[in-house]
Each structure stands twice: as C-alpha cells, then as structure tokens.
Amino acid sequence: MRKKLVVGNWKMNGSRAMVVELLTDLKARAPWPSDVAICPPMAYLGQVQAELTGSSIAWGAQDVSAHNGQGAYTGEVSATMLTDLGATYAIVGHSERRTYHAENDQLVAAKAKAALAQGVVPIVCVGETRAEREAGHTDAVVQRQLAAAIRSMGARIGEVVVAYEPVWAIGTGLTATPEQAQAVHARLRQQLLAATPAAAQMRILYGGSVKADNASQLFAQPDIDGGLIGGAALKADDFDAICRA
C-alpha cells in the first residue's frame, strides 16, 4: 500500500520569525500517518534545514534549475545546491511557473531530470485550466505534460512524484470533486504504468484548494496518494489536520 505524502508549498510567503513559529508548532505535532515535507521560498531553505534536521519532516524547494553544478546562470539554484542543503524534494512545473515564467513541458522535464540526477525527488506538476476543462481537453493536456517527463527520464520516471493540480482550483476556493480528481489520477497512473511497472507504487498527489474539511474524502480515493498544499500549509492547525487525513 502506498503511504500518503503531504507537501506544504509556502509559495512566496514567510519570514524568519514565521519559519521558527510555524515549524516549532508543526514539530510538536509530528509524526503523522503520512510522510510530510515543507517547500519554503528559497531564501529560507537553509533556515528550514536547521529547524527540521533531526525531525520527521522533510524539506524541499519550490523550483530547481535545469542546469546542474555551478556556472553563469544568475538567479538559478541547482539540484547540487539543494542536495547540499539536505533537500529531499523539488517542485517542478507548478502552474504558476508555467504561467508567470512561460515554462514549457520540455523545460519542466529537463528540471525534473536534473533534480533526479542529484538524488532530489522531483514533484512533477500537471494540470489544466478552466477553459481547457470546459472544452473537454483535460486528459489531452495533462497527458501531454506528463509525456514530456516520461520521454526525458524513461524508466526512471518511476522515481518521481506526480502532482495533479487543476489550475482552476488553485487559490480559487474551487476544488475538484473527489470523483473528478480520482478520474484524472487513474488515467495518469495508467499512462505511467505503460512506461514502468514501478508506477503501481508511485505517489500521485492532488493539489488545488485542499483543506482540512475535504482532505479525507480526496485522500480516500484509490489513486490519490496525498496532497500538494498551498494556503492551508501556512496554518499549523489546518496543515496538521490535512496530514492526519
């Protein structure tokens, strides 16, 4: 049975004081039935490492460069650097990166491959916009996005985490019903199984206005293996409830 994974994506939120306060609270509530990780803004990753080392909570980055090692890539942070900071995960292809930074499927796949090469587990995000869903294009969009990662990594795709995050449900208060989310997750798993038998044990997360009051229903679905949590990850009570769901 796949163990659930809950990842808190803080997005561009936080301060040094907030890191101490929130993580102190969460450490006091740990451990949970699920695996748990925190992805803070890059500026606080070192502080998060210091706060969480020795705890049951993992940490990761909200993005990673497609370029590894060191070099003339101003503003970029490589997977080698993330490894140096003890990061377990790196989110790649979040819808906000695709929208605001024009990241395409090929760049997302390259970032995932670069992370995995350094032992950082990429959380590969896929998802459709509201217009794409209403036009009946959900499957075509998410399968195209995932196919780029599969082509890039081949059989090693079985080592990544996938997150389905319908763009129309991120920060809007709208949430896919458990049945809607499960249907997409099931089709993604079938696509992954065609690439590697390891897909049976891969974790596919749901992201999109997950809250304490809907997490249990979402996580009860057979192909939903946890959540990529945004706003609720900034509140200890809400995040704790989701981790226990």
> Residues within the annotated binding site for substrate?
9-11, 171, 209, 230-231
Confirm if 90 and 63 have CB atoms less than 8 A apart. Answer: yes
Has 94 been annotated as catalytic?
A: yes
- Main-chain dihedrals φ then ψ at residue 143, nearest 5 degrees: -70, -35
Distance in angstroms (rounded) separating the CA atoms of residues 16 and 43: 9
Task: Work out the angle at residue 136's Cα, subtended by the Cα atoms of residues 152 and 63, and round it to the nearest 5 degrees.
Answer: 35
SS3 36: strand
The residue annotated as part of the active site, out of 94, 96, 103, 128, is 94
Contacts for 102 with CB less than 8 Å, ≥ 6 apart: none
Q: Which of 51, 96, 103, 165 is catalytic?
A: 165
What span, in angstroms and rounded, lies between the C-alpha atoms of 104 and 54?
A: 37
Asked whether the beta carbons of 165 and 207 are under 8 A apart, the reply is: yes
Q: Which of 194, 93, 89, 201 is nearest to 142 (CA)?
A: 93
Q: Distance between CA 125 and CA 163 in Å, rounded? A: 5
Q: Which residues are annotated as a binding site?
A: 9-11, 171, 209, 230-231
Cα dist from 38 to 13, 71, 109, 166, 167, whole Å: 13, 27, 22, 21, 21
Catalytic site positions: 94, 165
